[in-house]
Amino acid sequence: MAGANQTCIFCQIVHDPNSTTRLLHTDEKVVAFQDIKPSAQRHYLVIPKEHVPTVRDLRRRDEDYSLVSHMLSVGQELLLKDAPQTIHRFGFHQPPFNSVDHLHLHCFALPFMPRWKVVKYMSLGPFGGFIEAQKLLEKIRPLSSKV
């Protein structure tokens, strides 16, 4: 499994041909699937095929910015198709609040279910918590980028 972590459950989903996870999207960079413990009407995860542990491993580089942008566009496309009449939200957990050490974009068609789940997806400012996808893109936008 090149570019994979043998013990990572998400790497296993990406690289194991016997995985039972139903993929909603797959391309050369990412795969998407339903969260096993959904927190909203629709709750999808978009993950890179290459193992990237967390948002803290992303830098102001074209390749990181391009990857997160692509993850977001895949998530938006899926929710526009599956839940067009709802409010959508996209973001990442930041350490130490991430449950799996493999970068994954949460894609929600709201409302949260049950409603208290909103707490799990709140920003905690300097302490981490949840970061909206657009805010992460602002943080990692290459300084010389024209994107």
DSSP H/E element including 130: strand 129-132
Q: Mind telling me the catalytic residues? A: 106
CATH number of 22-140: 3.30.428.10
CA 40 to chain centre: 15
Query: What is the predicted pLDDT for the residue at 1?
Result: 43
- What string of DSSP letters covers 2-64? TT--TT-HHHHHHH-TT--PPEEEE-SSEEEEE-SS--EEEEEEEEESS----GGG--S-HHH
Query: What is the predicted pLDDT for the residue at 4?
Result: 67
- Summarize pLDDT for 2-39 with one digit per residue, the tens: 466 778 999 999 999 899 999 999 999 999 999 999 99
Query: What is the predicted pLDDT for the residue at 146?
Result: 57
Query: What is the predicted pLDDT for the residue at 27?
Result: 98
pTM: 0.93
DSSP designation for 88: E
What does the block give as tokens for 66?
């391009």
Chunked in runs of 10, what are the mean pLDDT values of the chain (147 residues)?
A: 75 93 97 96 97 96 97 98 96 91 97 91 84 96 73
CA 103 to chain centre: 6
